[in-house]
């Protein structure tokens, strides 16, 4: 099986992930699957009947897994895996839409939030102020405020539902795992770019050749993107 594109430690495969996944080594699956909300993807129809949509996801997703989705979608996934998520994080952003947050859920492994940090929320507190003067930051909370990739964002590509690189980098940083990172719906390649930046081995699969090329271009020139951590 020949990759569509390869960089050191990173491979992109063009095709149906259900055909390609059985040929790959096992790894940590990290993905934001199609949301079935009518996004205008290049080749994928994002408005399946509910039974068909869940049969599709259940056929693809496997543990260990980091999955980004809306909160109500975690219940069918938990029922399918016959287990609750090991950890759930709220990803919050400002948007002129009814939905202003999604979940990042870990199934089959637990992240270590002490491996990353963020700014303190109460900087006016004297004790916190003293810590900040020492250059300290708070350990990660379970509420991550990271803005969406919008049309005016510097990292925006031609993909209609692009995940912020900062979000994927944070999710990978707090998740130690020896094997490769595998994204069966790699889209514009954000998971792969985050893995490349962190020196992680990664494999992406994408049904659209146009999106494969977008991902390949991002991997060729990662320094051109502003990665906000």
Predicted confidence at residue 97, as pLDDT, reads 82
Structural domain that includes position 142: 5-224
Residue 229 is assigned to a structural domain of this protein: no
58-88 pLDDT, tens digit each: 999 999 999 999 999 999 999 999 999 999 9
**pLDDT in the model for residue 223:** 57
| 2-28 b/e (C-beta count within 10 Å ≥ 16 → b) | ebbbeeeebbbbbeebeebbeebeebb
Q: Judge whether 214 lies within some domain.
A: yes
For residue 220, how many other CB atoms are within 10 A of its CB? 10
pTM of the model: 0.91
Domain for residue 216, yes or no? yes
The total domain count for the chain is 1
* 181 is a domain residue: yes
Q: Does residue 157 form part of some domain?
A: yes
Task: Give me the pLDDT at residue 225, please.
Answer: 54
Strands 138-139 and 117-118: antiparallel
3-state secondary structure of 69: strand
Do the domain assignments include residue 112? yes
pLDDT along the chain (229 residues), means of 10: 95 97 96 93 93 97 97 96 97 89 97 88 78 77 89 83 94 96 97 96 97 96 54
CATH number at residue 163: 3.40.50.150
């Amino acid at each position: 099986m020949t990759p569509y594109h390869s960089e050191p430690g990173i491979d992109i495969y063009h095709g149906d992930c259900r055909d390609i996944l059985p040929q790959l080594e096992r790894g940590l699956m990290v993905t934001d699957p199609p949301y079935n909300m009518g996004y205008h993807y290049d080749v994928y129809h994002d408005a399946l009947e509910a039974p068909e949509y869940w049969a599709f996801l259940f056929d693809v997703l496997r543990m260990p897994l980091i999955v980004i989705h809306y909160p109500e979608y975690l219940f069918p996934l938990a029922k399918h895996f016959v287990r609750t998520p090991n950890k759930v994080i709220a990803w919050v952003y400002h948007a002129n839409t009814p939905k202003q947050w999604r979940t990042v859920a870990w199934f089959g492994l637990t992240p270590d939030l002490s491996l990353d940090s963020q700014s303190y929320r109460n900087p006016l507190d004297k004790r916190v102020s003293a810590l900040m003067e020492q250059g300290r930051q708070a350990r990660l909370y379970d509420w991550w405020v990271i803005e969406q990739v919008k049309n005016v964002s510097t990292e925006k590509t031609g993909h209609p539902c692009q995940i912020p690189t900062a979000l994927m980098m944070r999710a990978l940083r707090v998740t130690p795992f020896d094997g490769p990172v595998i994204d069966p719906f790699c889209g514009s390649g954000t998971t792969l770019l985050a893995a490349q930046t962190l020196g992680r081995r990664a494999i992406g699969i994408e049904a659209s050749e146009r999106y494969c090329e977008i991902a390949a271009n991002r991997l060729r020139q990662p320094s051109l993107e502003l990665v906000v951590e």
